[in-house]
Amino acid sequence: MIFQALATGAGILVLVLLGAIIVSLLIGGLPAFRQFGVGFLTSADWDPVKQVFGSVVPIYGTIVTSILALVMAVPIAFGIAFWLTELAPNWLQRPVGIAVELLAAVPSIIYGMWGFFVIVPVMADYVQPFVIDLLGDAPWIGFLFQGPPFGTGIFTAALILGVMIIPFIAATMRDVFQTVPPVFKESAYGLGCTTWEVMRAIVIPYTRISVMGGIMLGLGRALGETMAVTFVIGNTNRISGSIFGPGNTIASLIALEFPESEVGSLKLASLMALGFLLFVISFIVLAISRMLLRTGART
């Protein structure tokens, strides 16, 4: 009875804490929602001098950087997990697996400093000029790769986020790939399947639900990242058509503006409202992932 009560209390405590966070953000952001109404969700302005605030720019930056990070991270994470479970020699699996897990423990500010002092100069001097010259004038997609090569921007932030979430996704994929019963794979090998055919026809279908969960875990990490993005995204409150252009995310904007906000000010309320919107976006992502998992489970 005591253990049951403690376990029940722990579960209820999680719900209470979650509800308290949501309510506190909503209450703190109410002045901004009352002042700007729907315009807060549709305006790209962020002018503390004129006391005009909108959320379009940071929402756009949050979504775009997270999607780009997933596009870059998922194939690499899958390759790492595939190699660790199917191709790597036994003596090398454990040290590489530990190294992947250690990458997940690196503080985000270290990633940000590494990105600012190492990746940004490389992007500015080599990568961005090359891509701009190669694709800047291409039809249909050229606008995505135009602009001055400052090194910072949406793409650089997404690259750093991609590196940060690779360990989470790769570790999850590796663990779930190892749950496949050996008899399934041995039967496929006995029929003459190659390693890739076993992965494609046996391992991935068997673990697809858990793999999707790992990808959503990485996406959640990317959505809420703060300091690493703040170092390299450029911190400009405008939407650029180019992925090399500067921008902002909800988390980076809050990190930059919160220390300068006065208690009870409209600016602080707007930042609280942004925090609430980030919570809503994360909840929507979680709901979509749960829906995908249920659909996968039925099939």
Q: Specify the pLDDT at position 293.
A: 63
Q: Does pLDDT of 295 surpass 70? A: no
Residues in the chain: 299
Average confidence score pLDDT of the chain: 88
What CATH number is given to the structural domain containing 173?
A: 1.10.3720.10
> Exposure string (b/e) for 196-217, b if CB count within 10 Å is 16 or more?
eebbeebbbebbbbbbbbbbbb
Backbone torsions φ then ψ of 13, nearest 5 degrees: -60, -40
Determine the straight-line distance between the first and last CA of the chain, rounded to whole angstroms: 39
- Mean local confidence (pLDDT), 54-67: 92
Of 275, 273, 219, which is closest to residue 252 (Cα–Cα)?
275
Q: Does pLDDT of 298 surpass 60? A: no
Q: Specify the pLDDT at position 104.
A: 83
Q: Specify the pLDDT at position 90.
A: 84
Distance CA 108, CA 96 (A): 21
Tokens found for residue 162? 């991609």
pLDDT digit string, tens, across residues 159-186: 999 999 999 899 889 988 988 888 888 8
Asked whether 83 and 236 are in contact (CB, 8 A), the reply is no
Asked whether 296 and 209 are in contact (CB, 8 A), the reply is yes
How many other CB atoms are found less than 10 A from the CB of residue 239? 15
The pLDDT > 90 percentage for the chain reads: 30
pLDDT digit string, tens, across residues 21-58: 889 989 999 999 988 888 888 888 888 888 889 899 99
pLDDT digit string, tens, across residues 216-248: 888 888 888 888 899 999 888 888 889 999 989
Q: What are the C-alpha distances in Å from 126 to residues 123, 129, 204, 214?
A: 6, 6, 37, 33
Amino acid identity, residue 52?
A: V
* Range name among 79-83, 110-114, 147-151, 294-298 with the lowest pLDDT average: 294-298
Q: Does pLDDT of 210 surpass 90? A: no
Give the number of domains in the chain.
1
| Burial of residue 169, with CB atoms counted within 10 A of its CB: 0-12 exposed, 13-18 middle, 19 or more buried | buried
Tokens found for residue 30? 């109410």
Determine the structural domain holding residue 137 and report its residue range: 2-298
Q: Does pLDDT of 288 surpass 70? A: yes
Q: Specify the pLDDT at position 103.
A: 86
Distance CA 23, CA 13 (A): 15
